[in-house]
Structure 1
């Protein structure tokens, strides 16, 4: 398949707001792909190449000076091989080597194709061809049930591989995709309610659990082999030996556990979230120890539990890892929910998560079965730009431009971000120093006062609410926004949406 076919598909998908039209367009191009082209094509369409990080940034691309091809000649396989080569570059001389590979690829691409590839490599391809739309397109192209395709994608954690199985295999092959101990799956996510009782009104009888201000972990065990993964499915096993040893000591042979981890102070209270994340970023173990809290069990000794009701999963979790469970109660009584929420807050945690007691574990989805309630409005937004500071902050990137996700393109490009406010409040000297060092790597353009960034960095923002405002395209502005913490464990597609923020107007 020629790369130009994907470029044309991307343009066609971008030009329509109709989900059905997007699905049809994507299905047509998938039907044309050869078996070995399917996974690479899917990665290019969602700006998530199968190679993962390839070490290419805006500055390296901007430094190129090449003449592009006059006619299309690149295939999807050509691009996939070029990305393989870029991903393999490392060590001394890597900058020069990577530059040479980029020059070669750029010279073989037409201007239109190179623009597409740049946006793919920088993660800026805003076609609205996000995973949900592409999953429907895979189902249509393969004539497989949507539910079977979605389940296979969630359990495999690989959209490209799912497309390959659906389009080249049998219905039985697709249905056979299941949990594999050692292969992480997308975590189940929670929606938000204003109060714990409001959350209970949504779920009915529930397991009400502490909402920890920690980092999500998924732990797999097969015998003595233990793997620990982040919410983004990154392997951090070698960085958390204390968690590995705890799980090795549990009375089972095979496990997949879902939970959180954070470090504790000498008084037993949680340390700041940044200290936990600093451990994740350290290649060697540090003095700060991490303690796991588990709240779900997805697999136990050859038995998949994700389709079992939460009540059953918690019974097994208590038997296997009771000492390491997140504190909680099973109740349908509002008074009990309020009591546990107050206890969580008093212990220094964020609030509670209320989970419908008979719900299945739906990997990768945010529904109404799990609902979190925190006393302060906090939202995950994306940094779109940063302004240079003045006075004491001169020389540091300070005031942040904040964006909410716009999945349907109501206020711009589908899958893009819409600005909802600015803030410099809550930025410590440490954070100012960090963002001044890190943000230039994400720079797309600059003015004298402002550095504009790829929408990649997620930051947790506390607000008192929102108000109507014509200043920003989404029609709202944040009230008293302040930085709580950066969330390197979250991807931009996990940020809160403009629709979620607009719901606060009704409140």
Structure 2
């Protein structure tokens, strides 16, 4: 199958905003995809090479890519850089360079999807001395044989800046349409395996029956079950039917641990493999987890010298560190608080009630200095639960989680079986959907950001305010670098941003506002932190903002 066919699909997807048409285009392409490519193509359509949980990454930046294109085309790098300033898009600039290619290959061969993917694998697996030179050679060979359109999308795939509007929900629907299977079963299989390639193959070869039999696999992370918010302990107890398991809500990073004998893998809440960055936690798991084959979940917390939790950003610093890890182990010690178990020694547990899963977790884990069980209180007494809530806050934690004792584990679902209880005027996690270029010395930087909450009814991100304070010059430079590839439209100084980046925002109060589609606006919003651990779909919702607004107004009225 030619790569030009995939490039043509990208082009057609980019030209339409209609979700139904995009779904049909992807479904038709999947139907035509040979069996041997079906586990690869869904990710390439999504603009990726590997699933998020795969340790492999291409590790290619703009500079190396420009060098490869220059070598393949004969166009000097400085001319390529000038073209980028004019087009604002590296992919378009590469396409222009390929149109005026000065180098001719006597052995040029059309690109195939198989060749492109296998080259990407070689690039990702190139390590050690001379690896950058090998990566460069692999890239040059691809661009030597690429058409302008192919070069454009090779570039975007390499840099992770595809702009076709294909997200996970659309891929789910496309697989269902292509192979005439239930979207719900596709969703279930994906939530259990986080692997669209595997799910697409099962859908084609085994249909609904095969999808219904898909089970979780150690080594493939399960989409985490999510929680909604409760205004108070009393509200949570009422929602839970009068009795609940309350657990401390730790201010850390949620992780999913997979163990198969001595092999331990740790995934972030966004399913990124963070195992190598926290070796002391891996070793502690081997010592404390009795089960030999297990999938467990917990919250990784950074601990200060005084034993109190440090802000979750410290854990993210550990996740990002690739070198001098031993030094970071000393600077930022970590503690893992386990709160759920999904699989133990061949038994899938997600359909068991939470109370039973907690027992199985206690049987599977022996607590140690680094490995703890999340502190829990099972009660029907509001006063007792309120005292536990106050204790959690005094200890420096975020608040409490309330969990139905009979709740099953629902991968990827945000329901009311789990509820978060946090202080009323809490910070919000919002998605950047727009920005404006700065002025004066900041004219080359994006200087203020339009932030949005998730509307669960429409599936859209709806703005709730502009954030322009709280950023250092270094922050603005980093956000500009991060967001430029996500710009989908420019109008004067304003740019529309693909909703991919989540930030934590504090504010003075929430106001009603006819200015925004959401109906709400944040007064004096201020940037707090980048939430790299959260996907856009995990951002705070309009429902939550409306709830906070009502609580705020009740507080003002003294009720």
**Shorter-chain-normalised TM-score: which range?**
0.7 to 0.9
In 2, Cα distance between equivalents of 1:43 and 1:215: 26
Task: Specify the alignment match of 1:298 in structure 2.
Answer: 342
Deviation at 1:341, TM superposition (A): 1.8
Query: In the alignment, does 2:519 pair up with 1:467?
Result: no
Task: Specify the alignment match of 1:443 in structure 2.
Answer: 484
In 2, Cα distance between equivalents of 1:35 and 1:251: 40
Following superposition of structure 1 onto structure 2, how do residues 22-37 of structure 1 map, counting pairs within 5 Å? 23-37=23-37
Query: In the alignment, does 2:192 pair up with 1:155?
Result: yes
Query: In the alignment, does 2:301 pair up with 1:262?
Result: yes
Query: In the alignment, does 2:362 pair up with 1:318?
Result: yes
Task: Specify the alignment match of 2:531 in structure 1.
Answer: 487
In 1, Cα distance between equivalents of 2:491 and 2:173: 41
In 1, Cα distance between equivalents of 2:431 and 2:183: 30
Deviation at 1:196, TM superposition (A): 3.5
In 1, Cα distance between equivalents of 2:517 and 2:157: 26
In 2, Cα distance between equivalents of 1:483 and 1:142: 45
Q: How large is the RMSD of aligned CA atoms in angstroms?
A: 4.1
Q: Does the CA-based 8 Å contact 1:69-1:108 persist in structure 2?
A: no
Aligned length: 494
Query: In the alignment, does 2:177 pair up with 1:177?
Result: no
1:312-364: CA deviation from partner (whole Å, max 9, x where unpaired): 10112233337421112223443343232222111111111222221111222
In 2, Cα distance between equivalents of 1:209 and 1:53: 36
Deviation at 1:164, TM superposition (A): 1.9
> Larger relative CO (CA 8 A, sep 6+): 1 or 2?
1
Deviation at 1:370, TM superposition (A): 1.6
Task: Specify the alignment match of 2:318 in structure 1.
Answer: 279
Following superposition of structure 1 onto structure 2, how do residues 117-128 of structure 1 map, counting pairs within 5 Å? 119-125=156-162, 127-128=164-165
In 1, Cα distance between equivalents of 2:379 and 2:457: 40
Task: Specify the alignment match of 1:244 in structure 2.
Answer: 282
Rate the CA distance shift 1:281–1:128 in 2: closer, same or farther, 3 A. closer
Task: Specify the alignment match of 1:216 in structure 2.
Answer: 254
1:455-491: CA deviation from partner (whole Å, max 9, x where unpaired): 5442222333243152x56564322322332222223
Q: 1:345 aligns with which of 377, 393, 400?
A: 393
Q: 2:417 aligns with which of 369, 372, 385?
A: 369
In 2, Cα distance between equivalents of 1:278 and 1:422: 27
In 2, Cα distance between equivalents of 1:331 and 1:14: 56
Q: Which runs of 5+ in 1 are unaligned?
A: none
Rate the CA distance shift 1:154–1:69 in 2: closer, same or farther, 3 A. farther
In 1, Cα distance between equivalents of 2:455 and 2:133: 35
Task: Specify the alignment match of 1:331 in structure 2.
Answer: 379
Deviation at 1:492, TM superposition (A): 3.8
Task: Specify the alignment match of 1:67 in structure 2.
Answer: 98
Q: Does the CA-based 8 Å contact 1:459-1:486 persist in structure 2?
A: yes
Residue 484 of structure 1: SS of its match in structure 2? strand
TM-score, normalising length from structure 2? 0.74
In 1, Cα distance between equivalents of 2:144 and 2:518: 36
1:291-320: CA deviation from partner (whole Å, max 9, x where unpaired): 110110112222111111111101122333
Deviation at 1:192, TM superposition (A): 2.4
Task: Specify the alignment match of 2:85 in structure 1.
Answer: none
More displaced, 418-427 or 288-297?
418-427
In 1, Cα distance between equivalents of 2:162 and 2:452: 17
Task: Specify the alignment match of 1:234 in structure 2.
Answer: 272
Residue 191 of structure 2: SS of its match in structure 1? helix
Rate the CA distance shift 1:18–1:408 in 2: closer, same or farther, 3 A. farther
Q: Does the CA-based 8 Å contact 2:111-2:146 persist in structure 1?
A: yes
Query: In the alignment, does 2:431 pair up with 1:382?
Result: yes
Rate the CA distance shift 1:399–1:251 in 2: closer, same or farther, 3 A. same
Deviation at 1:203, TM superposition (A): 3.5
Rate the CA distance shift 1:255–1:86 in 2: closer, same or farther, 3 A. closer
In 1, Cα distance between equivalents of 2:159 and 2:544: 27
Task: Specify the alignment match of 2:202 in structure 1.
Answer: 165
Q: Does the CA-based 8 Å contact 2:288-2:365 persist in structure 1?
A: no
Q: Does the CA-based 8 Å contact 2:98-2:151 persist in structure 1?
A: no
In 1, Cα distance between equivalents of 2:4 and 2:512: 45
Deviation at 1:371, TM superposition (A): 1.9
1:94-118: CA deviation from partner (whole Å, max 9, x where unpaired): 489649837954973454x655555
Task: Specify the alignment match of 1:433 in structure 2.
Answer: 474
Q: Does the CA-based 8 Å contact 1:377-1:465 persist in structure 2?
A: no
Rate the CA distance shift 1:448–1:148 in 2: closer, same or farther, 3 A. closer
Rate the CA distance shift 1:245–1:77 in 2: closer, same or farther, 3 A. closer
1:359-386: CA deviation from partner (whole Å, max 9, x where unpaired): 1112222222222122133322234547
Q: Does the CA-based 8 Å contact 2:288-2:366 persist in structure 1?
A: no
Q: Bigger radius of gyration, 1 or 2?
A: 2
In 1, Cα distance between equivalents of 2:296 and 2:39: 29
TM-score, normalising length from structure 1? 0.81
In 1, Cα distance between equivalents of 2:222 and 2:413: 11
1:396-420: CA deviation from partner (whole Å, max 9, x where unpaired): 968541432668996xxx87x5554
Rate the CA distance shift 1:97–1:259 in 2: closer, same or farther, 3 A. closer
In 1, Cα distance between equivalents of 2:130 and 2:435: 32
In 2, Cα distance between equivalents of 1:152 and 1:207: 29
More displaced, 115-124 or 367-376?
115-124
Task: Specify the alignment match of 1:54 in structure 2.
Answer: 58
